[in-house]
């Protein structure tokens, strides 16, 4: 398998060793069971309960061999653990990820950039992903980059993402956290350092001001509705922090924690009836006229 990061190669090898080891043990046990069943028919009933040389075989095959196999697999697992957790001293970039019902709040402490459901990292740079939760226990898992990491309220856990190749890797919440657990995904975008730096600087900048009267109307629709209580758009009066940051919404790959693609049609459907797409999420439906909705969509689509 082509590993996208060092830890993944280790996890991959460990998985195959476990799988092949288990398969061999299972095959031997089934073979012995078959032999036992077949031979049992051949033994006369009065001889069946006689103790004999079988006892030695049971002690060796049933106690000694499993002990050796389990200890060997345990040692391999213990050996793999530190390889999935490179020393934090080697990381040169930190990303804060807060799990919320049901999305990922992402920020970069180096320059204050805040986004949601999308983590960008430079290829070849070990990144310290610091995770915590604002509500219940979640688990962050990007299988192509590293192991799962528990996302626990009141505690910060670390996992290192060290992408070897550029690409978009899907991550998923891996701990049942309520109704929309399955719709709590995210993307990790690994890109060349220069492209990443450009992206990070753009994310830290405030939203572009409305460039024409239509976008101005769209911004007014947003600021005069309930949106601003939950969402933040840097550079405007919208400063809510309960929902995903919308400052550069148009630049993202997905909406609603990788539930739907970030297109105008899906965005309109989401604004008008979010409970239809993701029942139980915190966002209420918005009652807008046709022209208001179109201006709002124009404005949100201008937030690059």
Query: At closest approach, how far in Å is the CB of 100 from ligand CUA?
Result: 8
Q: Which part of the chain contacts ligand CUA (CB under 6 A), choosing from 58-66, 176-184, 189-197, 269-277?
A: 176-184
Q: Which part of the chain contacts ligand CUA (CB under 6 A), choosing from 51-59, 108-116, 152-160, 175-183?
A: 175-183
* Distance (Å, whole) CA 134 – CA 242: 10
Angle between helices 6-42 and 65-84 (to 10 degrees): 170
Give whichever of 114 and 183 is closer to ligand CUA, judged by the CB atom.
183
Does the protein bind ligand CUA through residue 181 (CB under 6 A)? yes
CB 103 within 8 A of CB 256: yes
Rule CB under 6 A: choose which of 110, 176, 193, 242 binds ligand CUA: 176
Rule CB under 6 A: choose which of 98, 142, 160, 184 binds ligand CUA: 184
* Distance (Å, whole) CA 92 – CA 185: 25
**CB-based burial, 255-281: b 16+ in 10 Å, e otherwise:** bbbbbbebeeebbbebbeebeebbeeb
Does the protein bind ligand CUA through residue 171 (CB under 6 A)? no
* Distance (Å, whole) CA 21 – CA 269: 50
Does the protein bind ligand CUA through residue 292 (CB under 6 A)? no
Opening angle at CA 131, ends 114 and 79, nearest 5: 140
Does the protein bind ligand CUA through residue 175 (CB under 6 A)? yes
> Which residues within the stretch 127-146 sit at the binding site for ligand CUA (CB under 6 A)?
138
Q: Which part of the chain contacts ligand CUA (CB under 6 A), choosing from 3-11, 121-129, 173-181, 229-237?
A: 173-181
* Distance (Å, whole) CA 99 – CA 145: 18
CB 196 within 8 A of CB 122: yes
Q: Could you give the string, one character per residue 93-112, with x where binding to ligand CUA holds by CB under 6 A and - elsewhere?
A: ------x--x----------
> Which residues within the stretch 36-95 sit at the binding site for ligand CUA (CB under 6 A)?
none
C-alpha closest to that of 152 among 182, 131, 168? 131
Query: At closest approach, how far in Å is the CB of 150 from ligand CUA?
Result: 11
Rule CB under 6 A: choose which of 8, 131, 173, 283 binds ligand CUA: 173
CB 270 within 8 A of CB 260: yes
Give whichever of 105 and 175 is closer to ligand CUA, judged by the CB atom.
175
Query: At closest approach, how far in Å is the CB of 279 from ligand CUA?
Result: 15
Name the CA dihedral angle for 6, 127, 262, 178, rounded to a multiple of 10 degrees: 90
Query: At closest approach, how far in Å is the CB of 240 from ligand CUA?
Result: 21
| Assigned token pair, 185 | 């995904």
Query: At closest approach, how far in Å is the CB of 177 from ligand CUA?
Result: 3
Site residues, ligand CUA (CB under 6 A): 99, 102, 138, 173, 175-177, 181, 184
């Amino acid at each position: 398998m082509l590993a996208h990061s060092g830890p993944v190669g280790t996890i991959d090898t460990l998985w195959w060793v476990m799988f092949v080891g288990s398969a061999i043990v299972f095959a031997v046990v089934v073979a012995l069971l078959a032999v036992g069943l077949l031979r049992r028919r051949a033994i006369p009933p009065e001889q069946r309960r006689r103790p004999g040389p079988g006892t030695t075989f049971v002690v060796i095959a049933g106690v000694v061999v499993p002990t050796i196999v389990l200890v060997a697999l345990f040692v391999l697992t213990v050996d793999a653990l530190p390889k999935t957790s490179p020393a934090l001293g080697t990381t040169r970039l930190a990303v804060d990820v807060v799990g919320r019902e049901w999305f990922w709040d992402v920020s970069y402490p180096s320059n204050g950039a805040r986004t949601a459901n999308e983590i960008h990292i430079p290829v070849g740079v070990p990144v310290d992903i610091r995770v915590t939760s604002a509500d219940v226990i979640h688990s962050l898992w990007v299988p192509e980059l590293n192991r799962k990491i528990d996302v626990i309220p009141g505690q910060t856990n670390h996992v290192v993402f060290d992408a070897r190749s550029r690409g978009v890797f899907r991550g998923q919440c891996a701990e049942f956290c309520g109704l929309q657990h399955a719709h709590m995904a995210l993307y990790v975008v690994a890109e060349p350092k220069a492209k990443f730096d450009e992206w990070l600087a753009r994310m830290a900048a405030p939203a572009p001001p409305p460039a024409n009267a239509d976008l101005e109307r769209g911004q007014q629709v947003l600021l005069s509705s309930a949106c601003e209580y939950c969402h933040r758009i840097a550079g405007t009066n919208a400063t809510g922090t309960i929902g995903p940051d919308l400052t550069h919404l148009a630049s993202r790959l997905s909406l609603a924690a990788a539930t739907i693609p970030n297109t105008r049609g899906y965005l309109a459907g989401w604004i008008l009836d979010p409970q239809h797409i993701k029942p139980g999420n915190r966002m209420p439906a918005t009652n807008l006229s046709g022209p208001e909705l179109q201006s709002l969509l124009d404005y949100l689509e201008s937030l690059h």
